[in-house]
Amino acid sequence: MKTLYLLRHAKSSWKDETLLDIERPLNKRGRKAAETVGRYLKKKKIVPDLVLCSTAVRARETTDIVMETAELSSQLRFDKRIYEAGPERLLEVVHQIEKNKKAVLLVGHNPGLEDFLEFLTGTEKTMPTATLAKIVLKVTNWANVSEKCGTLELRHKPKL
């Protein structure tokens, strides 16, 4: 069994209209929500072996805050393929995770994360900003992850 956590980046700022989408930072509410997610991970003792993160500024900032707040020392890897990725691309990323990693946190974007969650579990759920989902996958190797091979065990929204 493998565990995949999906985390949608926290709320970003639209203040500077000259920035490219990939360059948008978190806003104040987003930074607070990322801290809330970090505290939740720490409280629940969720420690992924690997964190895979989009290269977008808002995803990187979310990841930094979550990891710092949760006091995680997990391996961190940035992957440009996660930005604007659909389920097929996210599956490609997951298939390349090393077999020895048991739990992985993937930090990305919508609509890709919602579509990927549905692909993996057959469950249609929304992923508002800073929402964390836990999917238990019925595989022993990441390369074997496929459609509906997982069960959604948790969906945590910072507002709760």
pLDDT number for residue 160: 54
| CA–CA gap between residue 62 and residue 152 (Å, rounded) | 22
> Which helix H or strand E contains 89, and what residues bound it?
helix 87-95
If one counts every other C-beta atom within 10 angstroms of the C-beta of residue 83, the result is 18
**AA letter at 67:** M
Mean pLDDT by 10 residues, the chain (160 residues): 98 92 96 97 98 98 98 98 98 98 98 98 97 98 98 89
User: Across the chain, what does the average pLDDT equal?
Assistant: 97
Right CATH for 2-12+22-156 from 1.10.1040.10, 3.40.50.1240, 3.40.710.10, 3.60.20.10 = 3.40.50.1240
pLDDT number for residue 3: 98
pLDDT number for residue 154: 96
pLDDT number for residue 158: 85
pLDDT number for residue 65: 98
pLDDT number for residue 144: 98
pLDDT number for residue 115: 98
pLDDT number for residue 86: 97
Residue ranges of the domains in the chain?
2-12+22-156
Provide the whole-model pTM: 0.97
